[in-house]
Amino acid sequence: MKVSVIGGGTWGSAFALYLGRMKLKTQLWIREADIYQDIIQRKENRTFLPGYTFPPPVSFFHNLKEAVEGSQIVFVAVPSKFCRQIYNQLAPHLSGQQIIVSLTKGLEEESLKRMSQVMEEIFLPKFFPQIAVLSGPSFAKEVAEEQPTAVVIASKDLTLAQRIQKLISSVSFRVYTSQDIIGVELAGALKNVIAIAAGILDSLQLGHNSMAALLTRGLYEITRLGLKLGAKRETFSGLAGIGDLVLTCTGKLSRNRYLGSELGKGKSLTEIVSGMKMVVEGVTTTLSARLLTQREGVEMPICEEVYQVLYNNKNPQQAVKDLMTRRLKEEHYN
């Protein structure tokens, strides 16, 4: 079995590291030439995943065609804003027999499409791709440390999901299956918006009551939009839903939570992002979520306030106050 991982960032590197430890022949594609050269020499990604040496089954590529040649499964771990470009570059080098798995937790900004939808748009005219998505509470660093982690692999084809499940599951990485590809992708993307709000609460030194309210109502907002778009309710109470939401909102390794915390301290979005090496998916997902709520007629007040803080420089304390003083209503409503 030979597999490819497209993307040499933190998550792509950690996932390739894990697959290599599973004795799978893994071909890791790195876009940045300088990082590629450094990894070739040191067998370590000192930029995005320092301190972890890649095992012998992992090989490194800067050429995309060579990186996917001969692979049965291609895992794509690049930020959502680069996915269409990478998919287009991948398409000429893929065969109809290969399985494509998205590891990206985001939405395409202009089209508002999920990554699997973008893949279908690009790949289907050329060949019939076998598509799946992997999501769930999985900080890259902890996967690299082999800490017990549980995720979900979703595909319209359950048999396909089960094949991947059996291949990549281990004592430290447990994989569940799902056919709700819509819910798994939406949950993975939208939780990043709520995580920005969680960081803001943290910087304002608000307590556990506030965080519990945010997590609960945030999950409710995500679920409402997901159901409107065709997802299954139970997905949002699972690993891709509340599992990933809790991790991203409370874990210190969360980039989105960190960004929110810095916003709450009064820093501008430009100032924060310019000092970060890694992409913060929640920044663009907030824009996409707002457009989706307007298109679908779904009310998502927390996402709206995050948007106002991010893009209109709204005072975070005022945003909290406005959420708390909205019109009173029943807890569960359509």
Phi-psi domain of 6 (left: phi exceeds 0; alpha: psi -120 through 50; beta: other) = beta
65 is catalytic: no
**313-321 contacts at long range (C-beta below 8 A, 24 or more positions apart):** 313/268, 316/200, 316/203, 316/204, 316/263, 316/264, 317/204, 319/200, 320/200, 320/201, 320/204, 320/206, 320/210
Phi-psi domain of 122 (left: phi exceeds 0; alpha: psi -120 through 50; beta: other) = alpha
- Structure tokens given for 8: 């040499």
Query: Pairing state of beta strands 173-178 and 149-154?
Result: parallel
CB 310 within 8 A of CB 286: yes
- Residue 109 burial (CB count, 10 A): 15
**Active-site residue among 166, 191, 252, 277?**
191
Radius of gyration over every alpha carbon of the chain, rounded to an integer in angstroms: 20
Active site positions, annotated: 191
